[in-house]
Structure 1
């Protein structure tokens, strides 16, 4: 079954969720402001975190509060946080160092990998929006926004592999910040700096100058092409051009993390990109993955859900973002314009919507009824796009060149029991949970 993604079809959206377009001064179409999801305004007004951020050099050793996460988070990603349990410990860390760690699972998503990412808190919800308790006897809340900054390796991991859920409670651990090696252009030392103005990316003159530079060395040009960051950056830009992304980073390190964050990859590929410490090698791996044709399939039954061609950006952060619901569950979302073999479940709601102006509806797989994401319908008829979908990256896996996706170790029944819509509160269990 294919979801009806017609922009004019709002028959499944209750009239109470529609906003009269007469409120607008003209009848022109209104494009969605993609800066709104990146600000996570659905969490309420926030204020900048007090104090100065700590600077971490490669090789830094220290103790930081660490908690398990459901997947790989790359430096540069934004992570919204809502804590109930261990609130005092985390609140102290936020006000003192503004740093905590997310421990990443292995490629199967079950065992702890020993790798993680340091996150720096940059905004905290004020007391008015973050009360001491919810009024129902539950624990006080700690809610803030953080940005991943550095990869780290845990130094106190047990010799035997342990389940990642053993780290659901916040604990202090010894970690070492990992280095990202960036060797730069190997022809930098032999080229004439006076000609740098002519070395525009992709120009014929730039290619001729690079060929002349290689003549001054013992190695042919094709050897240096392997280390040419600009060539890989052009391929990455070409790939994301179809997704209407124009804020692609220029720095090689930032580009390597940003690309990994915005690609639809298997957990194995994401972990492989995370652990590699060579920026150039990471970019080569990403370009190789870009060259493969892929579709996104249900992680439970492997039925096709959408194609890579339908992925597009609804946020300034890219096609992927992390969002959180009222229960503290973090959802890893990729936005697409069209899906197949899915059906809607439940009524539409605009409460706590990650995309202001849109109402969400739960979307499940047509074959196995597993939760795969949400459908978002515009509340204004002039708002564009009128409809799109947010798919949970853990619930849809890519299939490359006709190969079946790697199946997760969790059953579809477990997913149906644990997944919830983005804005529907669950009974607080006291821990920060993630899916």
Structure 2
């Protein structure tokens, strides 16, 4: 098979510099790299990985390669691929198929090339590798021991496949691990989304009305950071329990139809489609700003907006303006794609250190336990969560208490006399 399809191998030096920066800020992965280099736990195994292809992901790939894995790598979003990072991985001997700004056809070709590696383990972000394997390359399933899924949207797809009885191998729901979603989804998304919005708009957040669509862990982080920056925050929800939580956290809660005329800036992070539609946009303020922090670019109805717009133009780098029939302009950041990675650098390195440590250890868990797991979605083991948390505290130089034998007995007894 071909070993790579990238923009330009000459870009590699810049990519190496980026990877070296994150290596010094990801102590958990650095520790695993040392262990894996000695123990070679993935020796003889092929791993196909589709995750946002930037420096932090590249370092995860190098850690797995240090453990003996033969790596085939692609990106999970064409706008998040960094061509210099892809080139650096090729220079380091990995098979890479990814180009920034690839067309949908090119993107699908890169996914297929990554699968043609005949993986034993799949590491996915959004489910594109697993989906294509099941739909178009079922012949490859016999090689697969199992895999790991990084994000909420991918886990939703996997659970639908499990429910229908079509999932061909076990997949670990990395997204649902405590050391992933409690920190990556909340603090990582919260910071990186606002980093992207602020650097791309160069506008103040304080005094604006921000509408956050959904109140899952990602949306919690987005709303929390918006409020900290001085915004008035409105949350829209379909889940009554989450709506109560948003209200008790201090935000206004209302349907999107009521929020649309009030918002200055809209951020969707639900994993669902068409959370912001053209009828909503027609009631918005002139020059309202829309963006999506969910994995797929269907949360803001971009197809509907493209069809409804009378005029379209670039209003600023990474921002497209659309003039509607009422004369108002709607501005969309990053083509409605994942705003924090399509139009910025994604989550902070320290956050992804935890998430990718869970990924690496979950891949090892698949290798060691695949025969016991069945063809289903598997939770991350509590031992992995505990190990990652304790290593993170140690990296910070923080120690915590340990239960005494008396306390252990007390907590494990029903007779407290």
Taking structure 2 as the reference length, the TM-score comes to: 0.23
- Which structure has the higher relative contact order (CA within 8 Å, separation 6+)? 1
Higher strand share: 1
**Greater Rg by CA:** 1
Taking structure 1 as the reference length, the TM-score comes to: 0.22
Higher helix share: 2
